[in-house]
Chain A
Amino acid sequence: MKRIEAIIQPHKLEDAKEALKNIGVDGMTITEVRGHGRQKGHTEVYRGMEYKVDLLPKVKLELVVPDPRADEVVRTLVNAARTGKIGDGKIFVSEVADAIRIRNDDRGDAAL
């Protein structure tokens, strides 16, 4: 099993969700996060006081899929979330040791 963690632009969330649904991915977890990579932040001015805002809002999508599906899911996410500009985000893929469905003790791929 692979855990796919994608940090994307918030306005790309709908596209990503739709694309995953189309290839038959059922489950995901979403978190609103803030962060930055190479994309630098912006400056806000309140009554003449300048504030540098370098942590920008992003959405983090997490999903765990059976090994054979990982590449397809990553490709789908890249296509759906890409605008081609700095700030599009990143995807991290890692191994998952096990998965358990709380409702009925299903294990491994059956729990996904």
Chain B
Amino acid sequence: MKQWTRIIPWLTVLVLSVGVSLAQSLPPDVAKKLDDLDKAAKNAQMAGDNAWMLTSSALVLMMTGPGLALFYGGLVRKKNVLGTMMHSFILMATVSILWAIIGYSLAFGEGNAFFGDLRYLFLRGVGGDPNADYAATIPHQTYMVYQLMFAIITPALISGAFAERMKFSAMLLFMTLWSLIVYFPMAHMVWGKGGLLNAALGGKFPAFDFAGGTVVHITSGVSALVCALYMGKRVDYPSETMRPHSVVLSVIGACLLWVGWFGFNAGSAVAAGSLASSAFIATHFATAAAVLGWMVMEWMIAGKPSVLGAISGAVAGLVAITPASGFVKPMPAILIGVAAGVVCYLMVSKVKQMFGYDDALDAFGVHGIGGTLGALLTGIFATKEVNDLRMGKPMGLIDGDAGQVMNQILAVLISWGLAIVGTLIILKITDAVCGVRVSKDQEMEGLDLTMHGEEGYNFEA
């Protein structure tokens, strides 16, 4: 398969040059036929790639709603189930509009090293023809909408940290500013043309982040920690009973996340070729390993293998393999998964208790730590056998290039820094404009009634 794809350009040149030279001697209809054949081949590839990428886009949207909405919704108390689900759901609308107006342009317009220009403002110039820089075989529109789904789930992940106590209006303002100040620039740096860390399109410090370890998980996870520290603990935390009201919902959510993540990671190949298969497989095996890693740790330390632990392990594994998925082979993927399961378990069950911050749904412990772990391990396990981005030169440490680890560390530091500074500024602004936290009375009564005027479960109805 690989040899074939390598000779395709030569074959094309050969066919074309033969075509051109014969064009004069052959009857004109033969030249036209060759031309038509070339177009037909291109259309066939576009049809295949586009089908997978539209499917992937839908899968990634499904991660936010209902995936994350259910996962988070089950973990809160029942008086906050709607408010928590709304955090995820409303971003499917808010970020979409923001993306169409300016977001896509700021992230993927060719600007400077830090953010994009305004060339795609209002989606101007984003049409059916491919953008060869980003994805040569799918319509630019498909690429744009695929990337939108990432911009939706990333802020939704943060909402786990401030669950059960943030004012809805403040949440909307916070998320809008966060997209503008943290997400769009970070996405541009790593994936945008000319971005500082872009590994494929001329970044100064090329970092490997296949599907968003830095862009999605570190930014959201670290911002979550800042939110938890800034907003303070929930009333009576941790003394009052704050058990998850339905781990059942969370199990359904986690399973939807696992399935949707195939669109997230395998879709990041932006084509339906062998790289997508490789990312799909790395994602799956890492996740399975992380489930077992978390479960065994918990079983040994806490005495029982909990269901919440098993599904949390799955999410930790999915997070950690995200940056590595398009660069590593299956066995290193399993190693990354086990590491994520073990480290994230210790993080949420031991370290969080030690420091006593109230990251309500463990957005930092799972996404911040899992994302950081994955980004660093990508520098170690990336190999040209999976992704020959550097045309035969070594990729990660196991290929013999220790330098890549340094680039990964730099990318991690930049994303941590941007998340901390950006989120702090945004929280200050939001607090000044409308106050970030609900009143104590509202918190006791629950966000469903006080923010939305509804209840999640009306069994007498």
Contact = CB atoms under 8 A, between A and B. Distances in A.
A51 B243 contact: yes
Interface string B309-347: 100100000000000000000000000000000000000
A57 to B, nearest CB: 14
A68 interface: no
Interface string B296-307: 000000101010
A86 interface: no
B244 A48 contact: no
Interface stretch (B349-357, B381-389, B402-410): B349-357
Contact of B348 (A44, A48, A53): A48
Contacts of A47: 308-309, 312, 348-349, 362
Contacts of B241: 51, 53
Contacts of B353: 48-49
A45 interface: yes
A46 B312 CA distance: 11
A111 to B, nearest CB: 27
Contacts of A44: 243
A48 B382 CA distance: 33
B238 interface: yes
A106 B435 CA distance: 62
Interface string B235-269: 00010011110000000000000000000000000
A47 B344 CA distance: 10
Contact of B308 (A46, A51, A53): A46
Interface string A43-70: 0111111010100000000000000000
Contacts of B362: 47
B350 A46 contact: no
A51 B308 CA distance: 14
Interface string B24-60: 0000000000000000000000000000000000000
Nearest to B301: A48
A10 to B, nearest CB: 18
A45 B306 contact: yes
Nearest to B243: A51
Nearest to A45: B302
B227 to A, nearest CB: 18
Nearest to A55: B241
Interface in A21-63: 44-49, 51, 53
Contacts of A48: 302, 348-350, 352-353
A49 B240 CA distance: 12
B350 A45 contact: no
B27 to A, nearest CB: 74
Nearest to A49: B238
Nearest to B351: A48
B33 to A, nearest CB: 65
Nearest to B344: A47
B304 A45 contact: yes
Nearest to B304: A45
A78 B307 CA distance: 37
B251 to A, nearest CB: 13
Interface in B391-439: none
B84 to A, nearest CB: 16
A43 to B, nearest CB: 10
Nearest to B350: A48
Contacts of A45: 302, 304, 306
Contacts of B238: 49
B238 to A, nearest CB: 6
| Max chain B C-beta neighbours (<10 A), residue from A44, A48, A49 | A48
Contacts of B309: 47
| Max chain B C-beta neighbours (<10 A), residue from A44, A46, A51 | A46
Interface string B82-100: 0000000000000000000
A46 B304 contact: no
Nearest to B238: A49
Nearest to B247: A46
Interface in B68-125: none
24 contacts: A44-B243, A45-B302, A45-B304, A45-B306, A46-B243, A46-B244, A46-B306, A46-B308, A47-B308, A47-B309, A47-B312, A47-B348, A47-B349, A47-B362, A48-B302, A48-B349, A48-B350, A48-B352, A48-B353, A49-B242, A49-B349, A51-B241, A51-B242, A51-B243
Given A46-B306, A47-B348, A47-B349, 11 more contacts: A45-B302, A45-B306, A46-B243, A46-B308, A48-B302, A48-B348, A48-B350, A48-B352, A48-B353, A49-B242, A49-B353
The 4 tightest CB contacts between A and B, nearest first, are: A48-B349, A47-B348, A51-B243, A45-B302
